[in-house]
Amino acid sequence: MPETRTLAGRHKAEHIAPMSLSVRTVALLCTLAAALALGIALASEAWGGLVPCALCLWERWPYRVAVALGLVALVPPPRAGRLVLMLLLLALLAGAALAAVHVGVEQGWWPSPLPECAAPRFHGGSIAERLAHMPATPAKPCDDATYLVPGLPLSMAAMNLIYAGGFFAILALYLARGLRRPR
């Protein structure tokens, strides 16, 4: 039998229940975790001087959706909140998939699926016509990895893959545990 100490220091049997988080608490934590990912990306641009590529910008959308769904999951009763958290889980899966695609592009395993990541192609025409078709601001190539921490061989896309994958796994475990719990 499990034991616990009394004031006198003697041991007696007592069951210690594992910590259980409410759906609202998990929704709030998910909202904060998704907002943290967005905040780090924006801070790395504003204060770190890092320039995002087109895939980097796409990778932010699942976190925006996760923030919105996390806030929505705070409102309804717990059973409906769990359903919203399952949708949030899908957003995280999409975020991890986008990050995996980006890591593959950086490693040269496949070309980027986005046309914005490729160099502009010009077909004939005058210099003026070619200049008119150039983007107003040059885009960062998607296969040019950006590193947040000097000396750490993990690109921002790889860190995002780890973060989104871990976030997904933790939320999936929480939701699976709730499905097995008797009602």
CB 56 within 8 A of CB 41: yes
Domains, the chain, with CATH or none: 21-110+139-180 (1.20.1550)
Task: Give the distance, in angstroms, between the CA of residue 154 and the centroid of all CA atoms in the same chain.
Answer: 16
| 60-102 pLDDT, tens digit each | 999 999 999 999 999 999 999 999 999 999 999 999 999 999 9
Task: Say if residue 47 is exposed, middle or buried (CB neighbours under 10 Å; 0-12, 13-18, 19+).
Answer: exposed
| 106-155 pLDDT, tens digit each | 888 988 887 766 655 556 667 666 556 555 555 677 778 888 788 888 88
Calpha distance 147→106 (Å, rounded): 12
User: Which structure tokens are listed for 29?
Assistant: 């934590």
CB 105 within 8 A of CB 142: yes
